[in-house]
Amino acid sequence: MGSALILRLIAQRLALGVLLLFAVSVLIFAGTQILPGDVAQSILGQAATPQALENLRRELGLNDPAYIRYFRWLGGVLTGDFGTALSNRRDIAEALGGRLWNTLFLAGCAAVISVPLAILLGLLAVRYRNGVIDKAISGFALASTSLPEFFIGYLLILFFAVELQWFPASSTVFDTMSFGARLQAIALPAITLTLVVLAHMMRMTRAAILNVMQSAYIETAELKGLSAFDIIRRHAMPNAVAPIVNVVMLNLAYLIVGVVVVEVIFVYPGMGQYLVDHVSKRDVPVVQAVGLIFAAVYIGLNMIADIVAILANPRLRHPK
């Protein structure tokens, strides 16, 4: 009975995720269609003749009804064809491959640092709650969340790239770089992303564990004489997994989707920089492709968080 219920809930989450992604694709397509200006005009320039504009619109299918253009675009996406960039006539899927890898590498490095550190700081804050360590960690978290990522990025550039010259100010990477050289190149944007998400994950970890610590079985464990660390590790932490995983997944989604500002600051050749470059050129197919990939990543990570929360729920795994 419990396994069937869990499978049904997981299937519902997956179906909801697919439906949500379909709805987002409609919004992305509609949003790019109502942008001001004329795509054909932006490609050919102001000196283009009316006949040249009409020929290009016919070639790009801009004269077709919106719903036909949407299903044509959606059909291509489902087969892995994101179309061709209008600005340079390059295949979008081919151009996105390397940039998506760069963004995932940057986000992954930031996650490897921030997730364990956030959980560790959250546990320390709970272990020494209302003490000097707890107040120091909470103060750092409050200061970190108060600063926007562009400000943190420019501060890191000023101190570590300009003054100390430990790391490069611009994160230029290429395929033939060694792993160590690539890590050095992305050090500053990775630290920036870490500082942005670390505080939120740490505070939510602390809040989730403290909420569990108010339960009756925690009081029973204390009466048995267990140490505070053992109570947190063996009793509180396992029952706080669901909310912690949820906030971790949300921040991982931000690391991938919210890198646009950081990539622009450090001139990092990832998805965010690619999006900004082509928004300025009004390259609608590129904007649609990047927006849909970001949405798919965000929805996918949230689905994983929901599924982990379902699997971690003892009431579902051990129904009465």
Domain ranges of the chain: 2-36+82-317
* pLDDT score recorded for residue 19: 92
Q: Count how many Cα atoms sit within 13 Å of the Cα of residue 54 in the half-sphere of its side chain.
A: 3
Closest by Cα among 66, 40, 43, 42 to 54: 40
Q: How far apart are CA 50 and CA 41, in angstroms?
A: 10
* pLDDT score recorded for residue 257: 75
CATH topology of domain 2-36+82-317: MetI-like fold (1.10.3720)
Q: How far apart are CA 306 and CA 318, in angstroms?
A: 18
Our CA angle for 214, 219, 224, nearest 5°, is 155
For residue 285, CA distances in Å to 75, 96, 206, 260 come to 14, 12, 43, 18
User: Cβ neighbours of residue 143 under 8 Å, at least 6 residues apart?
Assistant: none
For residues 253-270, average pLDDT: 82
For residues 92-119, average pLDDT: 86
Q: How far apart are CA 138 and CA 145, in angstroms?
A: 11
For residues 295-314, average pLDDT: 80
In this prediction, residue 38 has a pLDDT band, given cuts at 50, 70 and 90, of low
Bridge partners for 91 per DSSP: 84
In this prediction, residue 90 has a pLDDT band, given cuts at 50, 70 and 90, of confident
Q: Looking at per-residue confidence, does 240 or 108 come out higher?
A: 108
For residues 117-125, average pLDDT: 83
For residues 196-225, average pLDDT: 75
For residues 147-176, average pLDDT: 83
Q: Which two tokens stand for residue 173?
A: 């990477």
User: Cβ neighbours of residue 5 under 8 Å, at least 6 residues apart?
Assistant: 316, 319
pTM score, two decimals? 0.78
* pLDDT score recorded for residue 138: 80
Contact 194, 110 (CB under 8 A): yes
Indicate if the pLDDT at residue 318 is higher than 60. no
Lowest mean per-residue pLDDT among 118-127, 263-272, 304-313: 304-313
- One DSSP character per residue, 105-136 reads HHHHHHHHHHHHHHHHHHHHHHHTTTSHHHHH
For residues 25-32, average pLDDT: 85
* pLDDT score recorded for residue 135: 85
Cα dihedral sign for 97, 25, 264, 199?
Answer: negative
- The distance between the two most distant Cα atoms of the chain, rounded to a whole number of Å, is 86
Indicate if the pLDDT at residue 281 is higher than 80. no
pLDDT in tens, 129-147: 778 888 888 888 777 777 7
Cα dihedral sign for 315, 318, 319, 320?
Answer: negative
Q: Looking at per-residue confidence, does 195 or 49 come out higher?
A: 195
Indicate if the pLDDT at residue 234 is higher than 70. no
Contact 270, 173 (CB under 8 A): no
